[in-house]
């Protein structure tokens, strides 16, 4: 199954071949082939001369979230009185949800949408899009045929839909739940984005304009791509300005958020205590980054549920170790030292070694070479496997066999993580090899704008493949 269908992208003169990123591992160059790396004593030439080694320096800034500062933090939301209030409000919201069953389906869906985002006849494009997004988010593969009624005789979305700005916004958010080869959702995204951008620019913005807030937020990053708890924090603030705000629901969301934050704080303290007990590698090494807080925040994107703290702590520790290893390869080690170090590590370190070789040899990889290696060096597959062992279920042999097969979902997640990260840190500040953006620009003599447009299209298409695989996984779980 091909990972990307690149023929539909908008830069035909600088297009990569259709088979460029298949799910099978291919090697177009010995520089990028992980299978050809033989880390044996016979090909390692460790220098024994006494000449001083010139080290690269990344000048990493120390973390603001020091051990003592984090341990000094507290939260009143751990108190028993808030737990009691939370139970009462939860029951009140449950009763409200029961009452909604008597109302029309659109109001039910809107209530569920508000509840989820808080954390917890052109009938209409808003209702159809909202229903489509919510069902697909929960693993129901609703057909895109539900949007056929909104197309004109030319197969384009009807212009009159632009009068319903709420419906257009819902259509835009729904379009990101696309799977492979769903061109109608590509059309929906292009159609709705153009209308939303025009509406946001030309509309006379009033203070606390709820719709303008939602539009601007969606255009920055779609809801489907956001971290759920960070989204909850933003939406709680935005929902306060909604014209039909439900006070008890808002109060429940705020209390629930603060109580979960208190749980997170205790987990973060636990992570830092463990890090301190073994002696912080950052302090011992002196050249690497201390990103324990950032790694913990990342783990909440993995799983935010209060009962899964063990998973978050485990993933944070693994991510912190990966960061240290990454800095050994990116900043500190000589090539001879890295060859020796790699003997004792597995696939992740091999991918780092490839990048180190590129750097020391002054080699500029093609985008294909770079991504063939970078989806592994992104380390998302390492984090997924670590997360599996911290879930509240028994370890099963069939799951471990599945991991051994290098499933496509590992590749998809690794590519999305790597490309998105590269777009956010595209300036080469650590003596790295060129990132994805530079690889594309070097290979095709493209501008930065063209490169960003192309890589953004790649993310959207890989997301379609990811959505399809996740829908299949959720479907199997429902049948299990």
Of all residues in the chain, the percent with pLDDT exceeding 70 is: 80
Is-contact 10 30, C-beta < 8 A? no
Is-contact 132 142, C-beta < 8 A? yes
| Single residue among 190, 216, 245 that ends a domain in this structure | 245
pLDDT at res. 426: 60
Our count of domains for the chain comes to 2
Per residue in 348-387, pLDDT tens? Answer: 888 888 988 998 888 999 999 999 999 988 888 778 877 7
- Residue at 18 is within a domain: yes
CA 357 – CA 339 distance, rounded (Å) = 10
- Residue at 474 is within a domain: yes
Q: Which long-range contacts (CB under 8 A, 24 or more apart) does 130-133 make?
A: 130/106, 130/170, 130/174, 131/105, 132/174, 132/177, 133/170, 133/173, 133/174, 133/177, 133/224
Residue 462 has pLDDT above 90, yes or no: yes
- Residue at 210 is within a domain: yes
| Single residue among 188, 218, 245 that ends a domain in this structure | 245
Q: Does one domain contain both 144 and 213?
A: yes
- Residue 162 burial (CB < 10 Å; 0-12/13-18/19+)? middle
- Residue at 250 is within a domain: no
DSSP 3-state percent helix, strand, coil across the chain (nearest 5): 70, 0, 30
Residue 27 has pLDDT above 60, yes or no: no
pLDDT at res. 434: 81
Q: Does one domain contain both 234 and 278?
A: no
Would you give the distance in Å from CA 43 to the centre of its chain? 38
Q: Does one domain contain both 218 and 308?
A: no
Helix (H) or strand (E) run with residue 93 in it: helix 80-100
pLDDT at res. 92: 81
Q: Does one domain contain both 236 and 266?
A: no
Q: Does one domain contain both 231 and 269?
A: no
The CATH number of whichever domain residue 127 belongs to comes to 1.50.10.130
pLDDT at res. 108: 76
Q: Does one domain contain both 274 and 208?
A: no
Q: Does one domain contain both 303 and 276?
A: yes
pLDDT at res. 120: 60
- Residue at 90 is within a domain: no
Q: Does one domain contain both 410 and 360?
A: yes
Q: What is the pTM of this model?
A: 0.61
- Residue at 240 is within a domain: yes
Task: Look at 189 and 2; give whichever has higher pLDDT.
Answer: 189
* Residue-wise DSSP of 105-132: HHHHHHHHHHHHHT----TTHHHHHHHH
Q: How long is the chain? A: 480
> What average pLDDT score do residues 460-473 get?
88
Nearby residues of 190 by Cβ (< 8 Å), 6 or more positions away: none
Q: Which long-range contacts (CB under 8 A, 24 or more apart) does 237-240 make?
A: 238/210, 238/213, 238/214, 239/114, 239/117, 239/118
- Residue at 51 is within a domain: no
Mean pLDDT across the chain, nearest whole number? 79
Q: Does one domain contain both 278 and 421?
A: yes
CA 38 – CA 170 distance, rounded (Å) = 52
Residue 420 has pLDDT above 60, yes or no: yes
- Residue at 91 is within a domain: no
pLDDT at res. 177: 94
Range of the domain at 276: 6-44+57-70+262-479
pLDDT at res. 401: 80
Q: Does one domain contain both 31 and 136?
A: no
Q: Does one domain contain both 235 and 301?
A: no
Per residue in 315-345, pLDDT tens? Answer: 898 888 888 888 888 877 778 777 766 765 7
| Single residue among 216, 245, 274 that ends a domain in this structure | 245
Q: Does one domain contain both 143 and 271?
A: no
The CATH number of whichever domain residue 355 belongs to comes to 1.10.600.10
């Amino acid at each position: 199954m091909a990972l990307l269908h690149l023929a539909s992208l908008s830069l035909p003169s600088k297009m990569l071949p259709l088979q460029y990123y298949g799910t099978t591992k291919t090697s177009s160059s010995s520089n990028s082939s992980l299978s050809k790396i033989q880390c044996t004593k016979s090909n390692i030439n460790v220098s024994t001369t006494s000449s001083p080694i010139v080290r690269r320096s990344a000048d990493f800034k120390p973390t603001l979230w020091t051990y003592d500062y984090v341990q000094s933090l507290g939260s009143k939301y751990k108190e028993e009185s808030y737990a009691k209030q939370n139970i009462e409000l939860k029951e009140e919201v449950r009763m409200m949800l029961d009452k909604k069953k008597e109302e029309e389906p659109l109001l039910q869906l809107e209530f569920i949408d508000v509840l989820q985002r808080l954390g917890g006849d052109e009938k209409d494009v808003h209702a159809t899009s909202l229903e489509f997004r919510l069902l697909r988010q929960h693993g129901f593969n609703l057909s895109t045929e539900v949007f056929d009624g909104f197309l004109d005789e030319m197969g384009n979305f009807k212009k009159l839909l632009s009068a319903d700005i709420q419906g257009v916004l819902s259509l835009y958010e729904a379009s990101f739940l696309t799977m492979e080869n769903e061109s109608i959702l590509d059309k929906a995204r292009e159609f709705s984005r153009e209308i939303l951008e025009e509406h946001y620019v030309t509309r006379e913005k009033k203070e606390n304009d709820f719709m303008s807030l939602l539009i601007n937020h969606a255009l920055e990053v779609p809801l489907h791509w956001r971290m759920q708890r960070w989204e909850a924090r933003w939406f709680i603030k935005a929902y306060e300005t909604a014209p039909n705000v439900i006070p008890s629901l808002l109060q429940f969301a705020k209390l629930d958020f603060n109580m979960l934050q208190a749980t997170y704080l205790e987990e973060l303290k636990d992570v830092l205590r463990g890090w301190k007990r073994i002696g912080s590698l950052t302090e011992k090494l002196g050249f690497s980054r201390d990103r324990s807080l950032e790694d913990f925040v990342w783990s909440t994107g993995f799983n935010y549920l209060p009962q899964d703290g063990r998973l978050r702590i485990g993933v944070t520790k693994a991510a912190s170790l990966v960061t240290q290893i990454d800095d050994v390869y990116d900043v500190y080690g000589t090539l001879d030292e890295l060859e020796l170090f790699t003997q004792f590590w597995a696939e992740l370190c091999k991918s780092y070694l490839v990048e180190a070789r590129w750097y020391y040899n002054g080699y500029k990889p093609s985008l294909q070479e770079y991504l063939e290696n970078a989806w592994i060096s992104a380390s998302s597959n390492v984090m997924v496997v670590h997360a599996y062992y911290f879930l509240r279920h028994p370890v099963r042999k069939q799951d471990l066999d599945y991991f051994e097969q290098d499933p496509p979902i590992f590749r998809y997640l690794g590519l999305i993580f790597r490309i998105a990260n590269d777009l956010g840190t595209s300036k080469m500040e650590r003596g790295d090899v060129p990132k994805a953006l530079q690889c594309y620009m070097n290979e095709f003599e493209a501008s930065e704008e063209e490169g960003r447009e192309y890589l953004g299209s790649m993310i959207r298409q890989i997301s379609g493949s990811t959505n399809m695989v996740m829908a299949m996984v959720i479907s199997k779980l429902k049948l299990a």
